[in-house]
Chain A
Amino acid sequence: MAFAYLAPALIVMGLSGVLPMMFVGYYALHDTFAGNSFVWVGLTWFGQVLTSPEFYGAAARSLGFALLVLAIQVPLGIYIALRLPPKGVLSSIYIVLMTIPLLTPSIVVGYLWKVLTLPQAGLLFEGLRWLGGGLDMNSPAVTWAVLLLMDAWHWTSLVVLLCFAGLRAIPDDYYRAASIDGAGRWAVFRHIQLPKLRLVLLIAVLLRFMDAFMIYSEAYVVTRGGPGVSTTFLSHELVQTALIQFDLGQGGAMAVIYFAIMVCVSWAFFRLIVPRAPAAAGERAT
C-alpha cells in the first residue's frame, strides 16, 4: 500500500535523479571517442582526479566558502530572527521585504553584484572610494569578501525565516515561566529558544551548507573564477572539465567524488535530524 503512494515520486526521481546519476557513473568508468563508443577504463579517471591539484584546490575553496557562509549567515540569521517583532504590521513589512532577495534569480544576483563592484556605475565601488578606501577586484581576498557579501545578501533571510518560524512555535508559557524564574535574556536564549530552534537550525544549516558548497552561477558572473583560480569552486571545475573541455570521463569521476562528499555530509546531518522524523512516524503506524 505504501508503495502505491510512493510510486509517482519514485518514477519522477528515477528519471530526474537516479538515471542521470547512472550515466555519470558510466562516464566515470569509461573512455569515449567523440561521445559514442565507450571503452572500459576502470578507475583510471578516479586516479587522475584524485591526484590532480586543481581538484583539491577547488574542493578546498568550496568547503572554505561553505563554512564561511555558515559562520556568517547562521548567527546573523538567528540574531535578526530574535530581534524581529513577533507580530504586527512592521513584522510583516520586514518579512516581505527580506524575502525579495530569496526570490531573485541567481543570474540576476550575479549581475547585480557585478555591477555594484564596477568603477563609476557601482555603488559599492564608489561608496568605498568615497569613504577613502577602494575595491580591488584583482585581489583574491576582496573578491572573496564580495562573494560572501553577495551570498549573505541572497540567502541570510532564509535562515531568518526558518528561525522566525521556529521561535513563533514556542508557547508563551515558556517565557512566562522563565520570567518568574528571573531568567535573563541570555538564559532564555540558551535554555528555551536555542533548544527549540534545534531542528529548524539543522534544516537551515544543511540547506545553506549544501547550496553554498555547490555555488555556480552567481559567483561565475561576478568573478569568472578569478583572479587566477581563487574563486574557482568545485561546480566550476566540474562544468569546465565535463562541458567545456568535454572530458566526460574525468568529469564523471569528479562528479562521483563530489556526489560521495555530499552523501557523507547529508548522512551526518540526517542522523541528527531523523530521530524525530520517519522513525517517529513509524512508531505511530505500529
Chain B
Amino acid sequence: MRHRFSLAPLIYVTLLMVPVYWLIVMSLKTNAEIKSGITLLPREPTIANFRMILGDPDWYMGYVNALAYVLINVAISVTVAIPAAYAFSRYRFAGDRLLFFGFLMFRMMAPAILLVPFVQIFSDLGLIDTYIAVAIAHCFFNVPLAIWILEGFISAVPREMDESARIDGYGTWGFFHRILLPQIAPGIAVTAFFCFMFSWVEFLLANALTTIDAKPIGGIMTRAGGVLAADISLLAAASVIGLIPGVVLIFFMKNHLARGFSMGRVT
C-alpha cells in the first residue's frame, strides 16, 4: 500500500526516548546538581559514576553475571527447542496438541509461583548462587517460547526437503546440521532474541537464586537502592550500562528487526 507520511511513529519513538534521555543525563550529573532542581543538560558533565562502576568488580561483575546466565539460558533453550519444534512440526502422535499446550502453559506461568521450590531445589543441589541455577530456572518460560517460534519456522520448510535429504544419504545429525539449520537460521536468530529478552529482563528469580558470586546487576542495584535518595546518579549510570547489552543485541539483530519478526508460518 502507498504509505502516507505519518507523524505518529515519530511522536511515539520520541516519547519512548525521553526517559532514556533523562537516564543518560542523570548519569552524567552530580548528585548535588540533581538535587538542586531540573536542568535538561548537565552543567558540568562527569563520568565519575561510570568510572566508579567499571573500576569496581562488585559492580561490574553484576553485568558479567547477568550476561553469563542469560547466554547459558539462550544456548540451552534453543538447543533443546530445535528438535522438539521439529517433532511438533513433522510428527503426529497421541496427545501432541495437549503436550504442545502443556509447554505453552509454562510460558504463561508467573515466576513468583515457582520461586520457593526453586530456592529449595537449588539449595538441595548446592547450586544456589551459580549461573546454571538461574539459567535452568529461566528455561521454564524460554523453552516453550522457543519451541513455539521455531515450530512456525520449521513448518514453513517443505517436507520434501526432509525426504530428499534422506535419499541423499544424510543421517539425522547431518540433516539437521547441513539442511535444516541453514534453512531456519533467521528463525533461530529471532528465537534467540526473544529468549535473551525475557531472560535478561527477569529479576525476581535471578535475584532470589543468587547471593554474591552470581548476583546480577539488578540485585546489586537493589542493594545499593537502600540509599537511592542519596545516590541517584550512580544508579542512573548503572542503569545506562545495563542498557548496553540490549543495544548491542539490537545492533546485531537490526536486519531481522527491520524486516519484522517473520514468525515463520505463524504470521
Contacts and interface: CB of A to CB of B under 8 A. Distances in A.
A15 to B, nearest CB: 6
A279 B26 CA distance: 53
B185 interface: no
Contact of B83 (A6, A109, A175, A200): A6
Nearest to B99: A6
B65 interface: no
Nearest to B18: A123
Given A2-B93, A9-B84, A98-B12, A153 B197 contact: no
A5 B87 contact: yes
Nearest to B25: A123
A21 B120 CA distance: 12
Contacts of A187: none
Interface in B19-36: 19-20, 22-23, 26, 34-36
Contacts of B128: none
A91 B258 contact: yes
A243 interface: yes
A92 B13 contact: no
A129 to B, nearest CB: 9
Contacts of A5: 83-84, 86-87, 91
Given A103-B249, A258-B110, 15 more contacts: A3-B87, A5-B84, A15-B139, A17-B109, A23-B117, A86-B3, A94-B13, A95-B257, A99-B250, A112-B23, A175-B1, A243-B116, A277-B100, A278-B96, A278-B97
Nearest to B147: A9
Contact of B202 (A6, A79, A106, A286): A106
B205 to A, nearest CB: 10
**Chain A contact surface mostly:** helix
A105 B217 contact: yes
4 closest residue pairs by CB, A with B: A103-B246, A214-B110, A165-B260, A107-B218
A67 to B, nearest CB: 16
A216 B111 contact: yes
A100 B155 CA distance: 30
B54 interface: no
A111 B235 contact: yes
A104 B104 contact: no
Given A13-B139, A235-B110, A274-B97, A121 B232 contact: yes
A234 B217 contact: no
B92 A285 contact: yes
Contacts, number: 326
Interface in A269-284: 270, 274, 276-282, 284
A32 to B, nearest CB: 11
A17 B106 contact: yes
A53 interface: no
Contact of A243 (B36, B115, B254): B115
Nearest to B258: A92
Contact of A161 (B88, B137, B257): B257
Given A107-B218, A266-B101, A259 B236 contact: no
Interface residues of B, number: 111
A24 interface: yes
B187 interface: no
B225 to A, nearest CB: 7
Interface in A66-96: 76, 79-80, 83-87, 91-92, 94-96
Interface in B105-156: 105-121, 136-140, 143-144, 147, 151-152, 155
10 contacts: A8-B83, A16-B139, A24-B116, A104-B246, A111-B225, A239-B204, A262-B108, A267-B105, A274-B101, A281-B155
Contacts of A92: 254, 257-258
A24 B117 contact: yes
Contact of B6 (A4, A83, A116, A217): A83
B167 interface: no
B262 A168 contact: yes
A107 B203 contact: yes
B221 to A, nearest CB: 6
A140 B243 CA distance: 30
A262 B109 contact: yes
Contacts of A1: 91
Contacts of B261: 161-162, 165
Contacts of B236: 111, 115
